[in-house]
Structures are given as structure tokens and as C-alpha cells.
Amino acid sequence: MVKIKLTQTGSRNRKTYRIVVMEEGKRRDGRHIEILGVYNPLVKPAQVTIKEDRLKYWLSVGAQETDGVKNILAKKS
């Protein structure tokens, strides 16, 4: 199954995240299929950039969002 997850980037105490599409069984920072966007919680308000058309495509194909990604996208809307 394909999931839309968060992967960590950045250094310790300066974490940023990528919103990626990857297989469900892969590790958090493992190999991904496609990068959909970026989430930066360090700036106020938190910065979210995402490729809306690619997100809609992956959701239409059957990819599922994790709870963290759902929360981030709900706050963005």
C-alpha cells in the first residue's frame, strides 16, 4: 500500500519535514517515490508548500495520508 508520509530533514533542533509518497513498510527516512512538498514548523506561522495537483493524483490512485499529514493539510486549508 502507498502512503503519504513525513520524512525528517535538517539538523538536530532545526527539523524540517518533506511530505513524500512511499510504500507503507518503508522506514521513515527510507526511499520515497515522489516528494510532494515541504513542512517547516520553525517559522511562525508554520510554512507548508505542496504540489496540489500531485497530491490529488496520489489520493485518486488510492494513496492514504498518515495522521500527521492530515493534520498539517487541515491547518493549511
CATH assignment at residue 29: 3.30.1320.10
Q: Provide the number of structural domains found in the chain.
A: 1
Q: Residue 19's pLDDT is what? A: 96
List the chain pLDDT tens, one digit each, 77 residues.
Answer: 999 999 999 999 999 999 999 998 888 788 899 999 999 999 999 999 999 999 999 999 999 999 999 999 998 77
pLDDT given at position 25: 82
> What pLDDT is stored for residue 60 in this prediction?
96
Is the pTM of the predicted complex or chain greater than 0.85? yes
Domain coverage including residue 48? 2-76
**Partner residues linked to 40 by β-bridges:** 47
Q: Which three cell numbers stand for residue 4?
A: 503519504
Looking at residue 26, what is its pLDDT?
Answer: 81
**Amino acid letter, 22:** M
Give the C-alpha separation, 13 to 25, whole Å: 27
